[in-house]
C-alpha cells in the first residue's frame, strides 16, 4: 500500500479509514442517539435530513426509528468518520435498556418505548406520542440542549432531578413533540432555531414553565429509575429488575382493558384505594399503553405501582374484591415470572379448597375471598389496638 503523504491533515487524521467529518460533537450523558445525530448535523450547519441523506446515501433513515433499529450501514459510517467506538453508539440506543428493563429481542417485541414516527404525525395516525421531555432539563442545559434516552420510555413520566412533570405535547400548538421533524419542509432555510423548538409552531420547549410533580409520582419514578439503573429489585426480593417490569406490564394491560366487568371493578376499586382518578379505558387494541398521553400513562402507572408496592397484600385484597380468577393473570403471559405465578397459584389453591369446604356456605369464591380479606384486616386492626395499648 502506498504510504500516505505527510500532509498536516494526514498526520492529524491518518488513523481514520477515510476523511473524518469536519466537526465532531461528543455524546452527552444519557443522550438519545438521534439527539446526538441532530446535534452533529447542526454542528455542520446543515439540517438533519441533509446531513443524513448525504452521508447515509442509499440507506433508509427517514421515518425509521433509528434509536430502536440502527442499520449496520449507518453505524459503520459513523465508526469510520468519527472517533466514536461501537459501544459509545450502542450506549445511546434504546437497546441499552436491555436486560434491566426487558430481555426480549428489541426487534420482536419492544415494550416500554413510545412510538416514534414522522409520518404518523404528518398524517394524524393514532400513534401520536413521540417524545416526552423535561422542559427544566432543557433549560438547565443552556447553550447545549439535548434529548435524553429515557424520554423515549413510556414509564418515564416525571423528572426526579428537576422534580417536575414531563410533557409530550407543545403547550402552544398541542402537537406531539418530535425533535427530528422541525427541519422537514423547510428545505431552503438554514436551521437557525434551537433544537428544542416545537416542529410545528417553533415555540421553544425549554421556555415552558414546568409543572411541579406530585411526591408520590416522584417516589415511583425514583424506584423505576433505580431498578433500571441497577438491574436489581430489592423490594420484591428479585434479583432481576426485568422480572418486576414483566408483571408491571401485565397489570398495566389489565388496567388499560375495556369491557370486562370484573376488570372494571378492579380498575375502579384500585383507583379508589390508591387515591388516583379513575379514567375509563378506551379500546386497548388501538390504544396500547405506549400510545397514551403522558398524563394518562402516569395515572395507570401509579395504580400498577401501588398495587405491587406492598406485595402481595394489596393484590390479594383487590383481586378478591373484583372476584378475578387466575386465568386473567395467566392468559397471554407465557413468560410469567415465578414470584407472580406463585401468588396467582396461591389463590387457585384457596379456590379449590373452597370448592371442597365452603361450597354450601358461600355463594361464590369472590364472597369467600372478601370474607377472608376482611378477617385479616380485623385481625390487623386488633393487633394495632393492642400495640397502642402496649405503647401507651
Ligand atoms: Zn429535568
Ligand atoms: Zn408548537
Contact assessment for residue 369 and residue 350, using Cβ atoms and an 8 Å cutoff: yes
C-alpha grid cell, residue 320: 378478591
Using the mean position of ligand 1's atoms as its centre, give its distance from the Cα of residue 141 in Å: 10
**Taking the domains of the chain in order of start, what are their residue ranges?**
215-391
Residues 46-73 have pLDDT tens digits of 889 889 989 998 888 877 899 999 999 9
Using the mean position of ligand 2's atoms as its centre, give its distance from the Cα of residue 268 in Å: 35
What are the C-alpha distances in Å from 47 to residues 60, 83, 183, 314? 17, 22, 6, 52
Burial class (CB in 10 A: 0-12, 13-18, 19+), 104: middle
Give the per-residue pLDDT at 105.
80
Contact assessment for residue 129 and residue 192, using Cβ atoms and an 8 Å cutoff: no
Residue with cell 454542528: 43
Residues 6 or more apart whose CB falls under 8 angstroms from that of 386 comprise none
Q: From the CA of 121, which ligand is nearest?
A: 2
Q: From the CA of 150, which ligand is nearest?
A: 1
Measured in degrees and rounded to the nearest 5, phi and psi for residue 190 equal -80, 140
Using the mean position of ligand 2's atoms as its centre, give its distance from the Cα of residue 301 in Å: 27
Question: How open is the CA angle 111-134-293, to the nearest 5 degrees?
Answer: 50
Give the per-residue pLDDT at 79.
95
Q: From the CA of 163, which ligand is nearest?
A: 1
Which residues of the chain have a pLDDT value below 50? 1, 126-127, 390-392
Using the mean position of ligand 2's atoms as its centre, give its distance from the Cα of residue 302 in Å: 28
Give the per-residue pLDDT at 119.
62
C-alpha grid cell, residue 278: 379513575
Give residues whose Cβ lies within 5 Å of ion ligand 1: 134, 136-137, 159, 161-162
Contact assessment for residue 20 and residue 127, using Cβ atoms and an 8 Å cutoff: no
Q: Give pTM, 2 decimals.
A: 0.85
Using the mean position of ligand 2's atoms as its centre, give its distance from the Cα of residue 64 in Å: 23
Q: From the CA of 193, which ligand is nearest?
A: 2
Using the mean position of ligand 2's atoms as its centre, give its distance from the Cα of residue 123 in Å: 17
CA distance 222 to 160: 6
Q: From the CA of 136, which ligand is nearest?
A: 1
Using the mean position of ligand 2's atoms as its centre, give its distance from the Cα of residue 5 in Å: 52
Q: Which of 314, 236, 301 is nearest to 273 (CA)?
A: 314
Q: From the CA of 203, which ligand is nearest?
A: 2
Give the per-residue pLDDT at 137.
98
Using the mean position of ligand 2's atoms as its centre, give its distance from the Cα of residue 152 in Å: 19
Q: From the CA of 137, which ligand is nearest?
A: 1
Using the mean position of ligand 1's atoms as its centre, give its distance from the Cα of residue 289 in Å: 23
Phi-psi region of 323 (alpha: psi -120 to 50; beta: other; left: phi over 0): left
Using the mean position of ligand 1's atoms as its centre, give its distance from the Cα of residue 177 in Å: 16
Using the mean position of ligand 2's atoms as its centre, give its distance from the Cα of residue 214 in Å: 26
Using the mean position of ligand 2's atoms as its centre, give its distance from the Cα of residue 154 in Å: 21
Q: From the CA of 165, which ligand is nearest?
A: 1
CA distance 345 to 362: 21
What are the C-alpha distances in Å from 333 to residues 215, 328, 372? 32, 9, 28
Give the per-residue pLDDT at 391.
46
CA distance 167 to 141: 17
DSSP 31: B
CA distance 171 to 203: 9
Using the mean position of ligand 2's atoms as its centre, give its distance from the Cα of residue 170 in Å: 5
- Angle between helix axes 48-55 and 33-43 (nearest 10 degrees) is 90
Dihedral over Cα of 370, 371, 374, 375: its sign: negative
Alpha-helical (H) ranges within 98-200 are 119-122, 135-140
Number of helices and strands (H, E) in the chain? Answer: 15, 2
CA distance 43 to 112: 31
Using the mean position of ligand 2's atoms as its centre, give its distance from the Cα of residue 207 in Å: 12
Question: How open is the CA angle 23-37-165, to the nearest 5 degrees?
Answer: 130
Residues 114-168 have pLDDT tens digits of 988 766 555 555 446 679 999 999 999 999 999 999 999 999 999 999 999 999 9
Using the mean position of ligand 2's atoms as its centre, give its distance from the Cα of residue 173 in Å: 4
Give the per-residue pLDDT at 42.
92
Residue with cell 387466575: 326
Using the mean position of ligand 2's atoms as its centre, give its distance from the Cα of residue 114 in Å: 19
Give the per-residue pLDDT at 382.
76
Amino acid at each position: 500500500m502506498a504510504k500516505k503523504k505527510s500532509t498536516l491533515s494526514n498526520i492529524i487524521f491518518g488513523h481514520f479509514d477515510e476523511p473524518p467529518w469536519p466537526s465532531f460533537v461528543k455524546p452527552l450523558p444519557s443522550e438519545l442517539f438521534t439527539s446526538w445525530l441532530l446535534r452533529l448535523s447542526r454542528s455542520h450547519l446543515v439540517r438533519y435530513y441533509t446531513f443524513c441523506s448525504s452521508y447515509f446515501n442509499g440507506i433508509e433513515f427517514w421515518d425509521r426509528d433509528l434509536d430502536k433499529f440502527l442499520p449496520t450501514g449507518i453505524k459503520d459510517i459513523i465508526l469510520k468518520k468519527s472517533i466514536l467506538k461501537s459501544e459509545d453508539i450502542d450506549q445511546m440506543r434504546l437497546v441499552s435498556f436491555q436486560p434491566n428493563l426487558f430481555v426480549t429481542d428489541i426487534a420482536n417485541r419492544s415494550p416500554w418505548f413510545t412510538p416514534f414516527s414522522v409520518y404518523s404525525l404528518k398524517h394524524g395516525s393514532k400513534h401520536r406520542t413521540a417524545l416526552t421531555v423535561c422542559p427544566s432539563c432543557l433549560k438547565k442545559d443552556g447553550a447545549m440542549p439535548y434529548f435524553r434516552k429515557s424520554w423515549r420510555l413510556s414509564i418515564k413520566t416525571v423528572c426526579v432531578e428537576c422534580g417536575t412533570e414531563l410533557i409530550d405535547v407543545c403547550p402552544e400548538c398541542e402537537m406531539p413533540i418530535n425533535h427530528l421533524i422541525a427541519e422537514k419542509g423547510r428545505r431552503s432555510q438554514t436551521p437557525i432555531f434551537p433544537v428544542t423548538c416545537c416542529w410545528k409552531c417553533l415555540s421553544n420547549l425549554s421556555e415552558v414553565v414546568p409543572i411541579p410533580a406530585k411526591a408520590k409520582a416522584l417516589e415511583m419514578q425514583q424506584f423505576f429509575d433505580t431498578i433500571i439503573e441497577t438491574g436489581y429489585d430489592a423490594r420484591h426480593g428479585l434479583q432481576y429488575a426485568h422480572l418486576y417490569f414483566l408483571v408491571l406490564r401485565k397489570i398495566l394491560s389489565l388496567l388499560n382493558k375495556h369491557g370486562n366487568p370484573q376488570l372494571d371493578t378492579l380498575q375502579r376499586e384500585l383507583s379508589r384505594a390508591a387515591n388516583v382518578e379513575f379514567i375509563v379505558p378506551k379500546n386497548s387494541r388501538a390504544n396500547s399503553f405506549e400510545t397514551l398521553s403522558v398524563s394518562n400513562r402516569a395515572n395507570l402507572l401509579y395504580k400498577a405501582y401501588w398495587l405491587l408496592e406492598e406485595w402481595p397484600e394489596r393484590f390479594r385484597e383487590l383481586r378478591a374484591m373484583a372476584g378475578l380468577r387466575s386465568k386473567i393473570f395467566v392468559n397471554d403471559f407465557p413468560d410469567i415470572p415465578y414470584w407472580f405465578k406463585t401468588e396467582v397459584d396461591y389463590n387457585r389453591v384457596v379456590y379449590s379448597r373452597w370448592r371442597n369446604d365452603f361450597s354450601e356456605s358461600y355463594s361464590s369464591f369472590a364472597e369467600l375471598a372478601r370474607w377472608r380479606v376482611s378477617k385479616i384486616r380485623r385481625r390487623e386492626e386488633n393487633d394495632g389496638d393492642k400495640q397502642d395499648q402496649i405503647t401507651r
